[in-house]
Amino acid sequence: MRALKPLRIEGTPEARLRPAIWKLTDVRLRVGLAALVATLFFVGAVSAQHRIGPSGDIAAKISYCKDCHGVSAQGYNGYFPIPRLAGQQPVYLQNQLRAFIEHRRTNNIMFNVAHSLSPAMVDALATHFASLHPPPIGGAPRQKVATGRKIFEDGMPEVNIAACAACHGPDATGSGQIPRLAGQLYPYLIKTLNNWDKERGRNPTVPDASAIMSPVAHSLNRSQIEAVAAFVSTLR
Amino acid sequence: MKPMRFPPPQRHRTALFRAPVAPALIVAAAALTLVFISPAAAQDNVSKSEADAKLRYCEVCHGAAAQGFHGYYPIPRLAGQPTEYLKNQLQAFVEHRRTSNIMFNVGHVLSPAMINALTTDFNQLNPKPLGGAPKQDLDEGKKIFDNGVAGTNVPPCASCHGPQAKGNGPFPRLAGQLYDYITNKLTNWDKERGQNPSSPDTSAVMQPIAHSLTQPQIKAVAAYLSYLE
Amino acid sequence: MRNNGASLAIAIVLCCVFFAASAHGENLAVRNCTWCHGGGASGYPPAPALAGQRPLYVEKQLAYFHARTRDNPFARQYMWGAARNIDGESARNLALYFASLPPRAANDGVPNLVGVGRTIYQEGMPEANIVACVVCHGPNAEGIRDIPRLGGLDYSYLKRRLEQWNEGYHAAAGPPMISIASKLSGDQIEALASYLSFVK
């Protein structure tokens, strides 16, 4: 390796203060090092886009959602029960956020939350929450679970109650626009089923998918609602 | 209040035959009148409200106007189905010749009168197809439907299902059926149908056909059918 | 005889003090609290009101003080000592007692900040990623289960607690409070504290 002429600073008192790296006299080493640094910088910048976990605005928004919905979006029993979003079907989440914005689903808090979200943000949030899998927070009365399982898996055809599993899946994980129920909060499910029409399908000129659940919610009596809610709240 | 006056007790044997004939005739006449006036005359003991409630229950899964619905599983269109086909399927579910836990539960509580009412109602519904299938192979699908697949066991579907795929008698309507329901069933024919080897049923007819169709052919014909009205 | 007379006098005085103390319906244990937390436990800054507070919340805080987990300055200075002999059943009884007392609003916030505070509390500020407190703390800031009442607490207490979470006093914070506090500016904290101090 042919050495270059020594840099001017070498041998001078200032040389001590210069970074050792400046003492490299071989041009190939210098170029190679520069290339390495540039590559690392580039890789770092690129991987920052793709690293697991979003960055910037999306991360801040996720943190905000989690302030209410729980640190892993597992839900939280606040003054009002705040539903689990973890593992939720992304299409369902997107539909609900849009329903809040369009007042087809009436909830003042969620309208405030949703109406400032860009479509890209909605997609990012839905994708993120779908990827989370904390265990259910539980707490439902255990003695209701067996009855709830029966209603969920078999329905009650004598009284025209459809088997929830037909649409929500045998593990209550949902599909497409049909929500995951597995691990959902017990009081949230009860409140939702008991008050279906009070919050959903509120724009009569724009009927939406929530209409499917209206006859189902009405066909269940209180104790059946509590049973099926207890059952699905235990599912992982 | 004046006490009610009963007729004096009959003492003679012939009294047994002195039944209250006139009131009985009136009641019978009234009953017959009701029977013939009521539109449910042929259905005997299912009231309209019961039948309506059961229909709405079916629609929870099978979609508004029974057009079908993408549940966790694709739930088929029942609208426009021949009544004979529907009755056969309900019977097959109940007898476990066709295996579906959910449909067994649904089916085994239905009275014959209810089945009559439901199948009639479904047959008369005519909503638009649900749609949503991929569109690139519709021509290929139509060719298979109209002409079958040369050199194989696949006859023209139209020969049994009708030129517009509307079905007839025991042959189901395929027009407007869900794309992923058709592909699912054709691909998995044996897994759900003809499940009682000691009681073979009409589903056996489709078995060699379903087996002979390749996946691309299944998808093509399913997509074509799903858009038919 | 003179000694007997003096002893008798002292005994009578002590009895009077005892009866005077319990004449307000407060036993001695409660008096230990109301010395600082005010008559009727309605607060005496810096000690917050306890009247009408959620019993599960009070019980939890007493446990934190007893275990020296909650670490903000006044906790160290006062509550660690005060709670040294309070745990288990005595904590539960005290909590239930204070919960039963009628709450009184402190009404000592900054009036012209109340509007902003109400907006933050009831609606949040989604563009700033600030959640609406109402979702957990309730429409009248009364709390539920182990989520505390905020309504009627005094301005300086509410302000200091929110500031303390930003100053790193994280132990014993309720689940999302650290995250929430980190998003609040000083102005927003003052607005919230002002609004809440007026809520009955």
Amino acid identity, residue B219?
K
- Tell me the residues of A at the C interface, defined by beta carbons under 8 Å apart: 60-61, 63-64, 66-68, 70-71, 76-80, 82, 108-109, 112-113, 115-116
Mean pLDDT of B209-220: 95
Instruction: Specify the DSSP element, H or E, that contains A178.
Output: none
Q: How far is CA C137 from CA A68, A78, A80, C160, in A?
A: 11, 7, 9, 18
CB C180 within 8 A of CB C120: no
Same CATH fold assignment for domains C2-100 and C111-197: yes
Among the listed ranges A41-45, B2-6, B80-84, which one has the minimum average pLDDT value?
A: B2-6
Residues 78 through 107 of chain B touching chain A, CB cutoff 8 Å: 101-102, 105-106
Pairwise CA distance, residues A96 & A147, whole Å: 29
Q: Nearest-CA distance from C132 to chain A in Å?
A: 7
Band of residue B42 on the pLDDT scale cut at 50, 70, 90:
very low
Q: Nearest-CA distance from A166 to chain B in Å?
A: 6
Going by CATH, does the domain composed of A56-233 fall within 1.20.20.10?
A: no
Residue A67 pLDDT: 96
- Using the Cβ of A223 and the Cβ atoms of chain B, whether some distance falls under 8 Å is answered with no
Read off the pLDDT of residues C20-43 as tens digits, 9 standing for 90 and up. Answer: 555 455 687 899 899 999 989 999
A168 contacts on B by Cβ (under 8 Å): 71-72
Of A66, A109, A115, the CB nearest to C135: A109
Other Cβ atoms closer than 10 A to B117: 23
Q: Nearest-CA distance from B65 to chain A in Å?
A: 12
Structure letter (DSSP) for residue B170: T
Instruction: Specify the DSSP element, H or E, that contains A155.
Output: none
Nearest to A60 by CA among A127, A133, A125, A132: A125
C174 contacts on A by Cβ (under 8 Å): none
Nearest CA in chain B to A153: B102
- Using the Cβ of A204 and the Cβ atoms of chain B, whether some distance falls under 8 Å is answered with no
DSSP for A69-136? H-TTS--EESSSEE---TT--HHHHHHHHHHHHTTSS--HHHHHHHTT--HHHHHHHHHHHHT--PPP
Residue C87 pLDDT: 83
Mean pLDDT of B93-116: 93
Any idea which architecture B48-226 has in CATH? Orthogonal Bundle (1.10)
Report yes or no on chains C and B touching (3+ CB pairs under 8 A): no
Of C137, C144, C179, the CB nearest to A63: C179
C123 contacts on A by Cβ (under 8 Å): 108-109, 112
- Using the Cβ of B75 and the Cβ atoms of chain A, whether some distance falls under 8 Å is answered with yes
Structure letter (DSSP) for residue B69: E
**Which value, to the nearest 10 degrees, does the dihedral of the CA atoms of residues B36, B42, B48, B52 take?**
-160
Among the listed ranges A29-33, A185-189, B13-17, B201-205, which one has the minimum average pLDDT value?
A: B13-17
Residue C28 pLDDT: 79
Mean pLDDT of B105-132: 95
Pairwise CA distance, residues B192 & B148, whole Å: 24
Pairwise CA distance, residues B123 & A115, whole Å: 44
Residue A38 pLDDT: 63
CB B227 within 8 A of CB B206: no
- Using the Cβ of C173 and the Cβ atoms of chain A, whether some distance falls under 8 Å is answered with no
Q: Quote ipTM for the complex.
A: 0.81
- Using the Cβ of B132 and the Cβ atoms of chain A, whether some distance falls under 8 Å is answered with no
- Using the Cβ of C21 and the Cβ atoms of chain A, whether some distance falls under 8 Å is answered with no
C147 contacts on A by Cβ (under 8 Å): 78-79
Handedness of CA C175, C178, C180, C181 (dihedral sign): positive
Structure letter (DSSP) for residue B75: E
A77 contacts on C by Cβ (under 8 Å): 145
Nearest CA in chain A to B110: A158
Pairwise CA distance, residues C116 & C129, whole Å: 16
A60 contacts on C by Cβ (under 8 Å): 129
- What are residue B167's phi and psi, to 5 degrees? 75, 175
The residues facing B154 across adjacent strands are: B149
Residue B200 pLDDT: 83
For residue C102, pLDDT over 90 is answered with yes
| Domain C111-197 CATH superfamily | Cytochrome c-like domain (1.10.760.10)
CB A162 within 8 A of CB B57: yes
pLDDT in tens, chain A (236 residues): 444 454 444 455 554 555 555 555 567 777 766 666 666 555 555 444 433 455 679 999 999 999 999 999 999 999 999 999 999 999 999 999 999 999 999 999 999 999 989 999 999 999 999 999 999 999 999 999 999 999 999 999 999 999 999 999 999 999 999 999 999 999 999 999 999 999 999 988 888 889 889 999 999 999 999 999 999 999 99
User: Hunting for tokens 């204070």 — which residue is that?
Assistant: C98
- Using the Cβ of A171 and the Cβ atoms of chain B, whether some distance falls under 8 Å is answered with no
Q: Nearest-CA distance from C87 to chain A in Å?
A: 25
Band of residue B40 on the pLDDT scale cut at 50, 70, 90:
very low
Residue C13 pLDDT: 63
Q: Which residues of chain C form beta strands (DSSP E)? A: none
* pTM for this entry: 0.77
Pairwise CA distance, residues C14 & C8, whole Å: 10
Other Cβ atoms closer than 10 A to C51: 22
Pairwise CA distance, residues C160 & C167, whole Å: 10
For residue B25, pLDDT over 70 is answered with no
Nearest CA in chain B to A214: B60
Read off the pLDDT of residues C114-154 as tens digits, 9 standing for 90 and up. Answer: 999 999 999 999 989 999 999 999 999 999 999 999 999 99
Distance of CA B139 to the CA centre of its chain: 30
Residue B16 pLDDT: 47
Q: Nearest-CA distance from B185 to chain A in Å?
A: 16
Q: Are the beta carbons of C129 and A61 separated by less than 8 Å?
A: yes
CB-based contacts of B216: which residues, under 8 Å, 6+ apart?
Answer: B137
Secondary structure class of A56 (helix, strand, coil):
helix
Secondary structure class of B171 (helix, strand, coil):
strand
| Domain C2-100 CATH superfamily | Cytochrome c-like domain (1.10.760.10)
For residue C169, pLDDT over 50 is answered with yes
Tell me whether residue A182 is exposed, middle or buried, using C-beta atoms within 10 angstroms of its C-beta: 0 to 12, 13 to 18, 19 or more: buried
Q: Are the beta carbons of A68 and C130 separated by less than 8 Å?
A: no
C137 contacts on A by Cβ (under 8 Å): 78-79
Distance of CA A125 to the CA centre of its chain: 6
Of C143, C144, C175, the CB nearest to A71: C175
- Using the Cβ of C170 and the Cβ atoms of chain A, whether some distance falls under 8 Å is answered with no
- State both tokens at B212: 């002979």
Tell me whether residue B68 is exposed, middle or buried, using C-beta atoms within 10 angstroms of its C-beta: 0 to 12, 13 to 18, 19 or more: buried
Other Cβ atoms closer than 10 A to B215: 10
Pairwise CA distance, residues A68 & A81, whole Å: 10
Q: Are the beta carbons of A167 and B71 separated by less than 8 Å?
A: yes
- Using the Cβ of C118 and the Cβ atoms of chain A, whether some distance falls under 8 Å is answered with no
Residue C175 pLDDT: 85
Q: Which residues of chain B form beta strands (DSSP E)? A: 69-70, 74-75
- State both tokens at A139: 């707490």
Q: Nearest-CA distance from B204 to chain A in Å?
A: 26
Which of A91, A212, A232 has the highest number of chain B CBs within 10 A, making it the mutation to test binding with B? A212
Pairwise CA distance, residues A26 & A4, whole Å: 6
Pairwise CA distance, residues B224 & B141, whole Å: 5
C138 contacts on A by Cβ (under 8 Å): 79
A76-77 and B74-75 beta bridge pairing? unpaired
Number of residues in chain A: 236
A78 contacts on C by Cβ (under 8 Å): 135-137, 144, 147
Residues 37 through 66 of chain A touching chain B, CB cutoff 8 Å: none
What are the structural domain ranges in chain A? 13-50, 56-233
- Using the Cβ of B70 and the Cβ atoms of chain A, whether some distance falls under 8 Å is answered with yes
